Amino acid sequence: MEVAEIINPEIISTEGNQMFNEGCLSAPGIFVQTKRPQSVHFKYQTRTGEQKEGVVEGVEAVSFMHEYGHLQGEMFLVHTTRQQRNYALRKMGMK
């Protein structure tokens, strides 16, 4: 996998759905099934200000949406069921 700098990403479109056993460094040891797009088309800028577009699929789409969610102020738990979310919150000692 190639590492990329993606600055100010904006989602253009998403396609399909996939379920993924997702976790987060902010919640060590907690994994829940999340529903994420199978494919994400986005635009962004480079460090030099150049405007570009990209597409990620599969597990890379999950990772992209996970990190994009952090930029939007949300955790991965908003993309799961209430039951899974309550399980995770109990395990984190927040419920």
Given 3.60.150.10, 3.90.79.10, 3.90.45.10, 3.20.20.140, which CATH number is that of 7-91? 3.90.45.10
pLDDT of the residue at 15: 98
pLDDT of the residue at 2: 65
What is the rounded distance in angstroms from the CA atom of residue 17 to the CA atom of residue 53? 21
pLDDT of the residue at 94: 81
Residue positions annotated with a catalytic role: 67
Mean pLDDT across 79-94: 88
Exposed, middle or buried, 61 (CB in 10 Å: 0-12/13-18/19+)?
buried
Span 29-63, pLDDT tens digits: 999 999 999 999 999 999 999 999 999 999 999 99
